[in-house]
């Protein structure tokens, strides 16, 4: 790097870090830092909203202080007329802060139904695929606490179980395309991030889809305002989620105990042997234990549907397995009083 460029960059970096002298911004940064705590290179997913712009600023500060590299990616879904120009505008705004953004574009035919879910999946694919190309293991997303509440209610309306209701947090339970997903803003409020974005960038993009009630998330967001009038405010939602997470951790304890005491792994045969006591637990403990082992054996990201696993458990407990069963990339068979789980030979990961 030329000496002049180095001096300019240093001035920009000093300007960025100077914002941390602001008490409100410093408080936000401390929460971000306590939720992150990584020392390896990482990547950040950027849009144009106040959440992701705040994330970009905080991640840049973190990288400068920790002296580690960080990559910034913007996904252009091309679902809206102005998406490409907005992505370029955000990139130009961040470039002034020595935040270089790579724009990842979704090419090809776009869906006409289930748009948000499919767009989210495509976004994850583009982001995590780019992380793999750059040998990055951590991807930061800009979800904040309001997203946590919305996600909880959406899953509640869909009839999710305890695990589903509590799985949205600082870290994703499952890796996406082998990349660890982190949400270091999850304890921060939207208004704090709007303040930071305005203070640092004096800019953020308002997504018009946030007003479109054709999307479930937007309808839930509007419902939350009515819930507050009835007394179900954010504090009560937060307490409810915390209590459910405590219950979920208790179940996880017994799942680990069940696997430790009642399952044995045969390394040479890549097979788990489950003794009769494995299925002498509460249904949720059995379900999670079996799902976890099947995931390990098959190597698949997702195991079989819950309904199928429940059916398998019922057959095992009622002694109705007479032959080898194929499910979720696994062979399941009963020999005397034990159950064997092995990898389906024809399955390719």
Q: What does the pLDDT look like over 30-74, one tens digit per residue?
A: 999 999 889 889 999 998 899 999 999 999 999 999 999 999 999
Q: pLDDT at position 211, please?
A: 61
Same domain flag for 11 and 105:
yes
Same domain flag for 163 and 281:
no
Over 50: is that where the pLDDT of 185 sits? yes
Domain count, the chain: 2
Same domain flag for 322 and 219:
no
User: Cα–Cα distance between 33 and 27 in angstroms, integer?
Assistant: 10
Q: What rounded mean pLDDT belongs to the chain? A: 88
Average confidence (pLDDT) over 280-303: 88
Q: What CATH code is carried by the domain that includes residue 34?
A: 3.40.50.620
Q: Which domain holds residue 115?
A: 3-232
Per residue in 94-124, pLDDT (tens digit) is: 999 999 999 999 887 877 777 777 888 888 8
Sheet holding 330-335, edge to edge: 263-266, 271-274, 338-343, 330-335, 325-327
Terminal-residue alpha carbon distance, the chain? 44
192 touches 24 (CB < 8 A)? yes
User: Cα–Cα distance between 44 and 55 in angstroms, integer?
Assistant: 8
Q: Is residue 255 part of a domain?
A: no
Structure tokens at 297: 């054996």
Q: pLDDT at position 349, please?
A: 47
Q: Is residue 243 part of a domain?
A: no
Q: pLDDT at position 103, please?
A: 94
Same domain flag for 183 and 292:
no
Kind and range of the H or E element at 22? none
Same domain flag for 265 and 228:
no
Q: Is residue 241 part of a domain?
A: no
Q: pLDDT at position 39, please?
A: 87
Same domain flag for 280 and 321:
yes
- Among the candidates 183, 215, 232, a domain finishes at 232
Q: Is residue 122 part of a domain?
A: yes
Same domain flag for 21 and 72:
yes
The secondary structure of residue 181, as a DSSP letter, is E
DSSP H helices, the chain, are 3-18, 23-36, 50-66, 83-95, 115-133, 145-157, 162-166, 190-200, 216-229, 234-262, 283-298, 306-317
Over 90: is that where the pLDDT of 135 sits? yes
Same domain flag for 160 and 82:
yes
Q: Is residue 87 part of a domain?
A: yes
Q: Is residue 276 part of a domain?
A: yes
- Among the candidates 232, 250, 272, a domain finishes at 232
The secondary structure of residue 37, as a DSSP letter, is -
Q: Is residue 210 part of a domain?
A: yes
Over 90: is that where the pLDDT of 1 sits? no
User: Cα–Cα distance between 325 and 322 in angstroms, integer?
Assistant: 9
Over 60: is that where the pLDDT of 343 sits? yes
Sequence-ordered list of residues with C-beta below 8 angstroms from that of 50, at least 6 positions apart, any chain: 190, 193, 194, 196, 197, 198, 204
Same domain flag for 196 and 289:
no
Q: Is residue 245 part of a domain?
A: no
**What 3-state DSSP class applies to 71?**
strand
Same domain flag for 201 and 277:
no
Over 90: is that where the pLDDT of 6 sits? no
- Among the candidates 215, 232, 249, a domain finishes at 232
Share of the chain above pLDDT 90, in %: 56
Which band of pLDDT confidence, cut at 50, 70 and 90, is reported for residue 212? low
Structure tokens at 237: 């939602």
Average confidence (pLDDT) over 70-95: 90
Same domain flag for 75 and 187:
yes
Q: Which residue has the tokens 């911004």?
A: 25
300 touches 175 (CB < 8 A)? no
Over 90: is that where the pLDDT of 163 sits? no
Same domain flag for 137 and 64:
yes
Which band of pLDDT confidence, cut at 50, 70 and 90, is reported for residue 213? low
Over 80: is that where the pLDDT of 269 sits? yes
């Amino acid at each position: 790097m030329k000496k002049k460029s180095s001096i300019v960059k240093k001035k920009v970096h000093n300007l960025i870090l100077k914002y941390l002298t602001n008490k409100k911004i410093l408080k936000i940064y401390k929460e971000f830092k306590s939720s992150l705590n990584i020392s390896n290179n990482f990547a950040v997913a950027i849009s144009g909203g106040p959440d992701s712009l705040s994330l970009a600023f905080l991640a840049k500060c973190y990288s400068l202080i920790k002296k580690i590299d960080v990559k910034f990616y913007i996904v252009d879904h091309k679902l809206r007329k102005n998406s490409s120009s907005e992505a370029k505008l955000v990139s130009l705004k961040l470039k002034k802060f020595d935040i270089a953004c790579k724009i990842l574009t979704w090419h090809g035919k776009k869906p006409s139904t289930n748009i948000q879910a499919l767009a989210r999946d495509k976004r994850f694919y583009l982001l995590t695929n780019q992380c793999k190309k750059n040998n990055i293991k951590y991807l930061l997303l800009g979800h904040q606490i309001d997203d946590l509440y919305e996600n909880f209610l959406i899953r509640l309306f869909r009839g999710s179980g305890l695990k589903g209701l509590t799985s949205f947090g600082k870290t994703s339970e499952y890796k996406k395309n082998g990349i660890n997903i982190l949400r270091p803003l999850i304890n921060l409020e939207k208004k704090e991030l709007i303040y930071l974005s305005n203070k640092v960038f004096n800019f953020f993009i308002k997504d018009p889809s946030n007003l479109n009630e054709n999307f479930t998330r937007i309808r839930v967001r509007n419902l939350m305002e009515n819930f507050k009038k009835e007394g179900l405010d954010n504090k009560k939602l937060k307490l409810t989620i915390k209590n459910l997470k405590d219950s979920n951790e208790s179940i996880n304890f017994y799942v680990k105990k069940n696997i430790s005491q009642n399952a044995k792994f045969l390394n040479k045969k890549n097979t788990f042997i489950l003794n009769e006591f494995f299925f002498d637990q509460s249904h949720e403990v059995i379900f999670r234990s079996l799902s976890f082992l099947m995931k390990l054996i098959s190597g698949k990201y997702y195991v079989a549907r819950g309904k199928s696993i429940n059916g398998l458990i019922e057959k095992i407990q009622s002694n109705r397995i007479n032959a080898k069963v194929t499910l979720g990339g696994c062979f399941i068979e009963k020999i005397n009083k034990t159950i064997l789980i092995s990898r389906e030979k024809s399955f390719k990961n």
